[in-house]
A = this chain, B = another copy of it.
Amino acid sequence: MTATPPDVIRCAYAELVVTDLAASRAFYVDVLGLVVTHEDSSALYLRAFEEYLHHSLVLRKGPEPALGVLAYRVRTPADLELAEAYYRGLGCPVSRRPAGATRGIGEAVRVLDPLGFPVEFFHEAEHVERFTQRYDVHGAGALSRLDHFNLDTPDVPAARKYYEGLGFRVSEDIQDAEGTVYAAWMFRKPTVHDVALTGGDGPRLHHIAFASHERHQILHICDHLGALRKSGMIERGPGRHGVSNAFYLYVRDPDGHRIEIYTHDYYTGDPDNPVITWDVHDNQRRDWWGNPVVPSWYTDASVVLDLDGRVQPVVERAEPREADVTIGADGFSYASGQAEFKLGEQV
């Protein structure tokens, strides 16, 4: 007998622990162009141009980089009760937080979910000005809204099952012929995902992603980092994903947290939305143009905190790793089904 899960609307905000607020501000505000809702000596509260809730990203000063919390918005205040009961039923640590425990956010329930991630559910939040048409402050790399979270977790099928229990559905995944699942994309709002599950040592945060309207906005962020002589912050891309069809860029913030900029997602809201399964050996699954994935993208991720602010231990993935079975010493990939593919080796 299972409890009723809360009705999750969408991924809503993330809190990252950063070690140097000024350095983070230079990156998130001056380069990425996020709007500052509030800032003080301990935290920055940021939002993208089309968002009207208080923030979609909190950067909180702390001793070492980590994920503080992932927050999902629920449909009604009553969903908080459902959340509490649901996670207690799962045997997870649960805590109630009064309104304002996080600035701008109403009453909330925080849990350490079965995958080991600190997750918050909230309904109420302070409204602030929506900058949709504030083109006077939109820069050349304007970001519209938070799009999704991407999580490293050792056992993707188990994680998928857990998220299906919360009412998420799969849009796409990556498997091999033996049935190993390497990654899955899952959503509540009708985009390709609110959360992606990536097979790897976890719990760790692989990245959070913001959406832009057009690709030139993403390209500008690259140009901007080049002009600052900070091209080293560009980790991967820009490129076109096979999975999701989105145009993407991965950058690393001053603490190494990975941020994706993302556009050209597709609508998934119909109940029979076709699930796309990609072969892990398909060289176009991660990059439609066949450009190789850099190793750090597979290996690096942010550790996560538990509800008491301690770094969670990381469990190794037992199943084969995508980086190992694809291009490289022991793996292979193809683009056309024949021999034709692009070697990832570089100078």
Pairs A–B under 8 Å by Cβ, sample size 22: A9-B269, A132-B266, A134-B227, A135-B140, A135-B226, A135-B227, A136-B227, A140-B142, A144-B266, A145-B266, A145-B267, A190-B190, A216-B216, A222-B288, A223-B240, A229-B284, A229-B335, A229-B337, A230-B335, A231-B290, A232-B290, A346-B346
| Cβ–Cβ contact B234 & A342, under 8 A | yes
Residues of A with Cβ closer than 8 Å to B?
9-10, 50, 52-53, 73, 75-76, 127, 130, 132-136, 138-140, 142, 144-145, 189-190, 213-216, 219-220, 222-232, 234-235, 238, 240, 242, 245, 247, 263-264, 266-267, 269-272, 274, 283-284, 287-295, 298, 323, 326-328, 335-337, 340-342, 344-347
* CB of A327, distance to nearest CB on chain B (Å): 5
> Chain A contact residues: over half helix, strand or loop, or mixed?
loop
Say yes or no: A50-B266 contact (C-beta < 8 A), given A228-B136, A294-B347, A346-B344: yes
Determine which residue in A220, A231, A238, A344 has the highest number of CB atoms from chain B within 10 A of its CB, and name it: A231
* CB of A196, distance to nearest CB on chain B (Å): 18
| Cβ–Cβ contact A290 & B226, under 8 A | yes
* CB of A29, distance to nearest CB on chain B (Å): 13
A247 to chain B: which residues have CB within 8 Å?
219
| Cβ–Cβ contact A288 & B226, under 8 A | yes
Closest residue on chain B to residue A219 by CB atoms: B215
| Cβ–Cβ contact B139 & A139, under 8 A | yes
Determine which residue in A52, A267, A271, A340 has the highest number of CB atoms from chain B within 10 A of its CB, and name it: A267
* CB of A216, distance to nearest CB on chain B (Å): 6
| Cβ–Cβ contact A225 & B289, under 8 A | yes
* CB of A11, distance to nearest CB on chain B (Å): 12
